[in-house]
Structure 1
Amino acid sequence: MTYAVKSTLPDADLKTVGEALQGELVDLVDLSLVAKQIHWNVIGPRFRSIHLQLDDVVATARSYSDTVAERASALGLPPDGRSSTVAATSAIERVAEGWQKDTDAVRTMVKALEATIGGARERMRSVGEPDPVTEDIFIQLTADLEKHHWMFQAENGS
């Protein structure tokens, strides 16, 4: 039995929205992986607070990745969160291997969040006209990511 979910959006709008959702899905999956990698490898006097703060980022990224993927599915677009797709298309820089000093871990997270927020803002603008429902997801996502960004910047005073 074959079943296809059909969108109410015109094809051109669906293409724009689909590309935005897929790009954001990849960045969110990668953000959660980056935060977990650092979570397991952070060392230093602020280990505990950063370790716990990273869990908050992971929870946000995982929650929104599900929201974004389900929005794509609702529009008839199959989301692609496979590791090979994430590795090939994420906007986030690769994380250093091994232990990370707390100050370096914070800098890495600031950069990862900046990349994710930058993409989300661009995508938010691109979907505003064709699909305000998806735009709303991007608005809320960006606000939550910016809060994490602020908190990590405050950790290093930069």
Structure 2
Amino acid sequence: MTIISSPLGEAESKLAGEALQGTLVELIDISLVAKQYHWNLVGPRFRSLHLQLDEIVAISRAHADTVAERSVAVGVNPDGRAQTVASVHGPGTGAAGWVADKAVVQGMVRILRASGGRLRERISALSEADPVSQDVLIAVARDLDKQAWMFEAQAADAG
């Protein structure tokens, strides 16, 4: 049953829907991992990282909403259910128990850089099919790249 029509052709709508769905799942996963780290973080950089993790959660949730709404606008149902996120990313993207600040920084850099790489592939795939959805993903990539840089700067040895 199709309730919302797409402004795109069938092939373009399918491509955009897949790119948006992949991004939606990643954003939900990032927000969950960041909250897990946020609750279990220990170490000398606790306060600054605790606050930065909340920023990641807020950014991820805001972009997830935009991505899901764009998906609906192109006639594709978004799926942000826990079972969908778990089936795509599976367990192990965060840590259970106390996590040292250094491990949090390394984990977030790894997660954000990997996500950025997948986002760039989706952005490239949408250049012809749907520049509007591409623009949504570019905004996500910009914010995640900025957060990755900020985490990475905390791990740098300037000496």
Distance in 2 between the 1:128 and 1:80 partners?
23
Measured at CA, do residues 34 and 80 of structure 1 come closer, stay the same or move farther in structure 2, by a change above 3 Å? same
Distance in 2 between the 1:93 and 1:16 partners?
28
Instruction: Tell me by how many angstroms 1:93 deviates.
Output: 5.2
Distance in 1 between the 2:150 and 2:117 partners?
17
Which residue of structure 1 lines up, in the alignment, with residue 68 of structure 2?
69
Stretch moving more, 44-53 or 2-11: 2-11
Q: Does structure 2 retain, via aligned residues, the 8 Å contact 1:41–1:99?
A: yes
TM-score (norm: length of structure 2): 0.94
Residues matched between the structures, number? 157
User: Mind listing any 5+ residue stretches in structure 2 that lack a counterpart?
Assistant: none
Instruction: Tell me by how many angstroms 1:138 deviates.
Output: 1.1
TM-score (norm: length of structure 1): 0.95
Cα RMSD (Å) of the superposition? 1.6
Which residue of structure 2 lines up, in the alignment, with residue 147 of structure 1?
146
Q: Does structure 2 retain, via aligned residues, the 8 Å contact 1:34–1:95?
A: yes
Distance in 1 between the 2:78 and 2:53 partners?
25
Q: Which amino acid aligns with 2:6?
A: S
Which residue of structure 2 lines up, in the alignment, with residue 128 of structure 1?
127
Distance in 1 between the 2:138 and 2:19 partners?
13
Which residue of structure 2 lines up, in the alignment, with residue 97 of structure 1?
96
Paired residue secondary structure (2:4): coil
Which residue of structure 2 lines up, in the alignment, with residue 26 of structure 1?
25
Instruction: Tell me by how many angstroms 1:90 deviates.
Output: 2.8
Q: Does structure 2 retain, via aligned residues, the 8 Å contact 1:21–1:72?
A: yes
Identity of aligned residues (%): 50
Stretch moving more, 111-120 or 46-55: 111-120
Deviations, residues 118-140 of structure 1 (Å, cap 9, x unaligned) = 11111101111111101111111
Instruction: Tell me by how many angstroms 1:76 deviates.
Output: 1.2
Deviations, residues 52-81 of structure 1 (Å, cap 9, x unaligned) = 010111111000000000000111111000
User: Mind listing any 5+ residue stretches in structure 1 that lack a counterpart?
Assistant: none
Distance in 1 between the 2:93 and 2:103 partners?
14
Give 4+ residue runs of structure 1 displaced > 4 Å after superposition.
Answer: none
Q: Which amino acid aligns with 1:100?
A: V
Q: Does structure 2 retain, via aligned residues, the 8 Å contact 1:42–1:100?
A: yes
Which residue of structure 1 lines up, in the alignment, with residue 118 of structure 2?
119
Q: Which runs of structure 2 are paired with 1:78-89 in the superposition (5 Å)?
A: 78-89=77-88
